[in-house]
Amino acid sequence: MINIHKQQSLLLIILIIVVLLTACGFKLRGQAATLPFKTMYVTAPDGHTIGIEMERMIKATPTTRLVDSTAEAEATLDIISAVNERAILSLSGGGRVRDFNLIYRVNYRVLDNKGIEIMPNTEISLTRVLPFLDAQILAKESEERLLAKDMQSDAIQQILWRLSTIKFPAESTQ
């Protein structure tokens, strides 16, 4: 009898959690943003993977088709720059580096098919702390690459969510 009571209590708690999560608007992170453009073109600086990853994410959206030129696109996402930086965050008493601050900055803008800015130059800046030990140089280099990739993925998600908030086509004032 006690076992059935525990199962009912557990079921009730799970039900309450599910209701609370759905009531607050919780969505899984992997769900694709709905972009307001039917067609889109992406430009990115040479030598950076952000353009390829952004195109892959846009292809995954249900409402937007990626095109091969600005002439075919309703909007162009122009990734102006993507920069990885590393700065010393703290030093030990002996003057050795203890922590690095990894910084990833992306500047972008969105243009319509006439070249008019829909979204002006916008910067996304992400930081991560990388603890550092001289004895683990190879492991820390690998960890730094993983953190840089993670920051790029976060920046792409932020850009897509910001793009999904654009009201397009802009309502005429006539």
Q: What is the pLDDT of residue 26?
A: 56
CA 70 to chain centre: 23
Q: CA nearest 123: which of 83, 92, 89?
A: 83
Please state, for a pLDDT cut of 70, what percent of the chain lies above it: 90
Torsion of CA 128, 84, 49, 147, to 10 degrees: -20
Segment holding 67, helix H or strand E = none
Rg (CA), the chain: 22
> Across the chain, what does the average pLDDT equal?
86
How many angstroms separate the most distant Cα atoms in the chain?
72
How is residue 115 written in tokens? Answer: 């070249």
Q: Are strands 75-91 and 97-112 parallel, antiparallel or unpaired?
A: antiparallel
The CATH class that applies to domain 27-164 reads: alpha beta
- Using pLDDT thresholds of 50, 70 and 90, give the confidence band for residue 173: very low
Alpha helices in the chain (DSSP H): 2-23, 50-59, 137-164
Question: What is the model's pTM?
Answer: 0.75
Alpha-carbon distance of 14 to 11, in angstroms, equals 5
Whether the predicted pLDDT of 27 surpasses 60? no
Q: Are 158 and 57 in contact (CB under 8 A)?
A: no
Segment holding 77, helix H or strand E = strand 75-91
**Average pLDDT of the segment spanning 16-35:** 69
User: What is the tens place of the pLDDT at every residue in 93-148?
Assistant: 888 888 999 999 999 999 999 999 999 999 999 999 989 877 787 788 889 999 99
The position carrying tokens 């700065």 is 87
